[in-house]
Structure 1
């Protein structure tokens, strides 16, 4: 992408960062539309933070360009870029009040005390901390400190706000609250937010667009629901949620459907959901799309795998997670919603697995079926 697309705010073209022979970021092409909430999602070491640091000017690219609003900023010093970064460590000044922490940027630019005070008041209102201006950072909770760091970045009116694992230090409940807060604030201010995270739920909850990174490259980019519903690689299928991947061979295809022979039957996939539609393929289906039923029980038309045996049952609140061992030795995962009419199966119960044809996706069998499954989520 050598040129900005209409309305694009940030364009990375051939962006590369090498350390010796190792490419942390490998010829990355990416356009982030103005005003969007964009997430770079991937495991530790995939290159997402290095990409963010090159946009911020904290790392010098080995090759490629960073263009912001039509201006090449690749070689600009960090303080000359209309970009601010919020890190996982809030980096607040412990000896200053919350009001003075937020005012630091405007005062450094020489803005009058009166003007700065008005802007600080507006920012504290935005992050819902107007009553805490006189306190010191140590007197606030982790979530409140994170909002102060956000206000301190936003008051500088950046064109792009970079968020580097900003919620990583928070506990689960507070992290979920802050996900909603960040999305609300981004909608209110209308700035471009680029959020780096290894947390799949975090990316899908907040972002308009998610780029899944792996080994310095983007595996797939799109809306969260698009990536989840129709992954294009085994890495995305496994890293973004969980998937059942069963080996198969294409038996027939037409304009609408692809028929695939698996170990003990034939399954159908829509042609539009087939990344690969010839020879060996992986047949994919998400665990919550699969249903259990007793052997040979009648049910809705769709794909059926016979001969399973329940090997493990885990109650996880809203759903029950089943592991089912198939006749060829593979264990498949099923998530069944828990409601009053739900039938419960026990370990050792014989079952068939069934799901609607339209929930099947097909991937290239040359890819590793375990890619993305052995990831340390830090």
Structure 2
């Protein structure tokens, strides 16, 4: 296999159904041997994109290339890809060994014992070879589905919400397990999920999709620390926003005016115009903020961004306490404080100073919706 043979390259790929556009024309390159996640809410186009790579959907425009081969017109069974679905689709009447051997036997390969044994060892199920699928846990069945797909030596493995049917604890175990398997076999994985933690735990590169378009792609830490849109900032975790105005530029920092105070933003992290008077949404993650009781305001080190507020709610969740702070300049602020040395004065009604390192601030164009990407809890009918 040449180095580029496991690349997935989508060029101008799109999908429309009548007047509805599921995927707007997009270009994506998934490097050989990488773990790549398409992340987004239901209806964002991620599964449609995956199905176009698999050949299960015909693109309305554009091309799909696997390595140097244009496979756009090839049927699924002629593409060097295999897909693992959420349902696993194991054969209930066959034992685990025969489920994994199925693809080899179908291709007329007679001697399958070593290959199947190696693959079951890879997914740590060698002891379960003669059990039927119904005798295995959901996580074990999922690993059988992965083994069955990998034994055909596809250049690309496609995973469509493969962990969606598992409970939370098992899902977390399987995230690490899938990453281990991908690292060991070294082939390209393209994984579709709506679960932010899942994508960030497993993938080398995450593409955040919204409304049939890729909003932003990059390494998980890059997307989290430097979101370019409010949708990405909110979809990957929680963000606090302050509407501000550019006052001046001082060296590598943009000085912002918010109410009667000033806040610093690194110029390199400002995705908006930096000319004086320009409008900016200043963002900061809840875990980057330190809460200090107003009585101790004098202890806040110089050079930190600081604003004031009042605690309106707090929730103890074990590793941290989550505070909601009311303040005049913006919606309620969220602050996550690690439970190391808890200040018992930080209760609802307490006046506080919120402060953080300016380097942890990011700036976005103020024309965006600050609620974009916020997961809404649907009420029961």
How would you bin the TM-score normalised by the shorter chain? over 0.9
TM-score normalised by length of structure 2? 0.94
Give the structure 2 partner of residue 60 of structure 1: 58
Give the structure 2 partner of residue 280 of structure 1: 279
Q: Separation in 1 of the partners of 2:289 and 2:19?
A: 44
Q: Separation in 1 of the partners of 2:337 and 2:42?
A: 31
Deviation at 1:376, TM superposition (A): 6.6
Seen in structure 2, the aligned counterparts of structure 1 residues 193 and 237 have a Cα distance that, compared at 3 Å, is: same
Deviation at 1:372, TM superposition (A): 0.1
Q: Separation in 2 of the partners of 1:375 and 1:33?
A: 34
Q: Contact between 2:5 and 2:66, CA under 8 Å: does it hold in 1?
A: no
For the pair 1:135 / 2:134, whether they are aligned, the reply is: no
Give the structure 1 partner of residue 366 of structure 2: 365
Deviation at 1:223, TM superposition (A): 0.4
Q: Contact between 1:207 and 1:224, CA under 8 Å: does it hold in 2?
A: yes
Q: Separation in 1 of the partners of 2:174 and 2:80?
A: 25
Q: Contact between 2:240 and 2:286, CA under 8 Å: does it hold in 1?
A: yes
Deviations 1:38-58 (A, max 9, x none): 000111110000000000000
Give the structure 2 partner of residue 305 of structure 1: 307
Seen in structure 2, the aligned counterparts of structure 1 residues 142 and 6 have a Cα distance that, compared at 3 Å, is: closer
2:84 to 70, 73, 86: 86
Q: Contact between 2:242 and 2:330, CA under 8 Å: does it hold in 1?
A: no
Deviation at 1:330, TM superposition (A): 2.1
SS at match of 1:249: strand
Give the structure 2 partner of residue 77 of structure 1: 75
Give the structure 1 partner of residue 210 of structure 2: 214
Seen in structure 2, the aligned counterparts of structure 1 residues 188 and 6 have a Cα distance that, compared at 3 Å, is: closer
Give the structure 2 partner of residue 223 of structure 1: 219
SS at match of 1:297: helix
Give the structure 2 partner of residue 333 of structure 1: 334
Deviation at 1:343, TM superposition (A): 1.7
- Backbone CA RMSD of aligned residues: 1.4
Deviation at 1:67, TM superposition (A): 0.5
Q: Separation in 1 of the partners of 2:180 and 2:4?
A: 26
Q: Separation in 2 of the partners of 1:92 and 1:212?
A: 30
Q: Contact between 2:310 and 2:351, CA under 8 Å: does it hold in 1?
A: yes
2:182 to 178, 181, 186: 186
Q: Contact between 2:4 and 2:68, CA under 8 Å: does it hold in 1?
A: no
Deviation at 1:335, TM superposition (A): 0.3
Give the structure 1 partner of residue 23 of structure 2: 25
2:48 to 39, 47, 50: 50
Q: Separation in 2 of the partners of 1:196 and 1:61?
A: 18
Q: Contact between 2:316 and 2:322, CA under 8 Å: does it hold in 1?
A: yes
Give the structure 1 partner of residue 347 of structure 2: 346
Deviations 1:165-218 (A, max 9, x none): 000000000000000000000000000000100101000000001011101111
Q: Contact between 2:6 and 2:155, CA under 8 Å: does it hold in 1?
A: no
Q: Separation in 2 of the partners of 1:48 and 1:352?
A: 42
Seen in structure 2, the aligned counterparts of structure 1 residues 8 and 141 have a Cα distance that, compared at 3 Å, is: closer
Deviations 1:293-347 (A, max 9, x none): 12233212310012x11011001111100000002462000000011x2324111
Seen in structure 2, the aligned counterparts of structure 1 residues 59 and 375 have a Cα distance that, compared at 3 Å, is: farther
Q: Separation in 2 of the partners of 1:163 and 1:50?
A: 13
Seen in structure 2, the aligned counterparts of structure 1 residues 6 and 188 have a Cα distance that, compared at 3 Å, is: closer
Q: Contact between 1:259 and 1:268, CA under 8 Å: does it hold in 2?
A: yes
Q: Separation in 2 of the partners of 1:370 and 1:171?
A: 29
Q: Separation in 2 of the partners of 1:85 and 1:282?
A: 41
Q: Contact between 1:8 and 1:31, CA under 8 Å: does it hold in 2?
A: no
Q: Separation in 1 of the partners of 2:84 and 2:251?
A: 49
TM-score normalised by length of structure 1? 0.95
Q: Separation in 2 of the partners of 1:161 and 1:72?
A: 17
Deviation at 1:75, TM superposition (A): 1.0
Give the structure 2 partner of residue 175 of structure 1: 171
Q: Contact between 2:5 and 2:68, CA under 8 Å: does it hold in 1?
A: no
Q: Separation in 1 of the partners of 2:152 and 2:178?
A: 17
Q: Contact between 1:258 and 1:277, CA under 8 Å: does it hold in 2?
A: no
Deviation at 1:375, TM superposition (A): 4.8
SS at match of 1:304: strand
